[in-house]
A and B are shown apart, each in its own frame.
Chain A
Amino acid sequence: MGDGRLEVDAISKRYGDVVALRDTTFDVRAGELFGFVGSNGAGKTTTMRIALGVLAADSGAVRWDGSPVTLETRRHIGYMPEERGLYPKMKVGEQLVYLARLHGLSASAAQRSMTDWTERLGVATRRDDDVQNLSLGNQQRVQLAAALVHNPSILVLDEPFSGLDPIAVEVMSGVLLDKAAEGIPVVFSSHQLDLVERLCHRVGIIRGGQMVAVGTVDELSAGGATEMVVDAPHAPEGWANGLAGVTVRRREGARTVLELGQGADDQAVLAAALATGPVTEFSRRRQSLTELYRNVVNQEAS
């Protein structure tokens, strides 16, 4: 209670016979950047829409700071829908002020906030242009400004990085990290797993409407097998065979990639390697989110 967490608690949703979400549960802590990943149609957008009240869940609840999210709470959420949208024939500045006011800001506060955010996101010179006359990249920046202009206490962004150029990705990442540093929960979905791994404190993987993994990348990879890379130039073929809990994955020239099962002793591996001669590399390779994701999704599929 009162910890500023955004909790998604066992929400379910079906469209006719199609189950979109089944008891989806996760939470985003205050000050945390949470990455929400999953393939297309897995239920990311449906979850976010339910959190924003744009869609009604069949069961389950969304809570913020311990209480159910109401229309009043939603005014404190900054939202970037997957389907980008602004009034095409309305001026950038006017539009942002309007959206800020719809979220409860006074006219003067809305004006100030619009000025701040258009400057910060580099679209200050386009304030008097209609949105439809902006380049796609600038429209994305205005869209982000629309999610931030009312100084939200929660950020929910659906695919904020899609379609951004590298500079804009940096700007967006910076803004999200800053917002999390201010102590608000930030959740965003993305298909760019390396970006999610680099930015997010925790990730959630959704598959077929169910959360299949939630945690830090380290936590998620901890349970699984560990990969090791050993570079022993004089080691003969099959030097590592017979070591307990160790499987040889492949050989890359002089390097051998091994998989260590649960309880396997990496020191025994090192000893075996040294027995063949000099060892120039001996490293543990952490599973990347991409590999983790592939494993989780394949595991479920089989």
Chain B
Amino acid sequence: MPEATRTFSSGEAVLLVAGREVRTKLRSKAYIITTVATVVLLIGFALVMKLVSGGSDATVGVTPQNAALAEPLKAVSSSIGQNVDTREVSEQDGRDQVADESVDALLVGQGDQLRVVVKKDIDENLRNALNVLAGQLALNQEIAQLGGDPAQVNATMAEAEVLVEPLEEPFPYDPQQLVLGIIAGILIYMSLQFTGQLVAQGVVEEKSSRVVELLLSTITPWQLMAGKVLGIGFVGFLQMAVIGGFGVAAALALGVLTIAVSTAVGTVVWLVVWYLLGFLMYSLLFAGLAALVSRQEDVGGVISPALMMVIAGYVVGISVLPTDPGNTLVGVLSIIPLFAPTLMPMRLAMGGVPWWEAALSVGLVVVLIPVLVWLAGRIYANAVMRSGARVKLTDALRTA
């Protein structure tokens, strides 16, 4: 076969198709809005976390007669996980401040009997703290009457604690990393859904508008499919990188994330790796399946089996992992390629994943992708020109 004058490589064709996808998608309102909204949401979340963790749970006014109780109150509160601020005020000012809610309670009365003034009712946690403090005061009094030194008894009591001997050293999950894992799961789930549907809709758009016949008269079905998947994949990757980058940067800058920067960056890198793997895997499935139908209304139905896998992985992960990050079932599922893209990044962000599990799950997906390329390419090539009724999967797999 003689070469024509203009040569045009397969790669160029794929890049041209991908370029069109990137240009049109980056300009689409839906894409810009979801990206900006997610970034804003994440930064807002970081701000809220900062406000919540930085401030105190309650502020208690203390009259000058009770000033000595301020320190013990703080100590007792922190021992039950409450962060209480105290402020010394005269009784009259204190009552005014309780009334206008600038303090939550005012400690009044004399020495041994604790009394607080509150506006309507007292916060349950604050009541617990004050009850413990009252008990402490009573105990101190008894010890002093028995001739002991309350300070020494308290010190001894503080040191007494049970010794735990674990047979297996548990992984010390950092609560911040758990939150990070949940966010990673939500992001990858959203992104796989969004980009996967873009691929499916793009395939059907070409089919329903019949432009596919014009395209296939100059490029092969495979080039068209590959270009589409690559283009939309890049757009999704960009979104993921922007969201992940802004989110982590905001959290670190605001001091909400106190984990090491390397761990945070590691989470983002894993997130991007798993997004790419998951996207390639699922978008190929979506492209092949979407080629079976000719109308946008039918896209949802035809891709739902594949979409269910994404949703199942996400739902299992989000409902089990936050309370039980070491769950065995989830551990096994996270290695199976269909569920790995949603579950593995969550586990990786939470930490404590043995290296071989991480490597095995990546390896399995990497092996599966060429198989999917072949399978999806075959379905796509056989079905994309058949408009009208939905093409049966078995027909599409047979040679045309």
- A residues sitting closer than 8 Å to B (CB atoms) are 49, 52-56, 67-68, 70-77, 79, 81, 83-90, 98-99, 101-104, 146
Contacts and interface: CB of A to CB of B under 8 A. Distances in A.
5 nearest A-B residue pairs (beta carbon) = A85-B210, A83-B210, A85-B211, A52-B217, A81-B213
A68 B16 contact: no
B113 interface: no
Contact of A87 (B6, B8, B16, B209): B209
Contact of B385 (A55, A71, A86, A99): A55
Given A70-B1, A81-B217, A103-B218, 13 more contacts: A54-B385, A67-B2, A68-B1, A71-B220, A72-B8, A74-B217, A83-B210, A85-B211, A85-B212, A98-B16, A99-B214, A102-B13, A102-B215
Nearest to B219: A102
A79 B214 contact: yes
Nearest to A53: B217
A240 to B, nearest CB: 55
A81 B210 CA distance: 9
Contacts of B214: 79, 81, 85-86, 99, 146
B24 interface: yes
B91 interface: no
Given A67-B1, A70-B1, A98-B16, A75 B8 contact: yes
23 contacts: A53-B216, A53-B217, A54-B213, A54-B385, A70-B1, A71-B218, A71-B219, A72-B1, A72-B7, A74-B218, A75-B218, A77-B217, A81-B210, A81-B214, A83-B387, A85-B212, A85-B213, A86-B211, A87-B209, A88-B209, A89-B24, A98-B20, A104-B6
Nearest to A66: B2
B30 interface: no
Give the interface SS of chain B, mostly helix, strand, loop or mixed. loop
Contacts of B218: 71, 74-75, 102-103
B15 to A, nearest CB: 10
B217 A79 contact: yes
Interface of B: 1-4, 6-8, 13, 16-17, 20, 24, 205-206, 209-220, 385, 387, 400
B12 to A, nearest CB: 9
A90 B25 CA distance: 11
Nearest to B6: A104
B99 to A, nearest CB: 62
Contacts of A74: 217-218
Contacts of B213: 49, 54, 81, 83, 85
A97 B39 CA distance: 35
Contacts of B385: 54-55
B365 to A, nearest CB: 32
A86 B216 CA distance: 13
A54 B216 contact: yes
Nearest to A132: B209
A54 B214 CA distance: 9
A102 B209 contact: no
B4 A73 contact: yes
A101 B14 CA distance: 12
Nearest to B23: A94
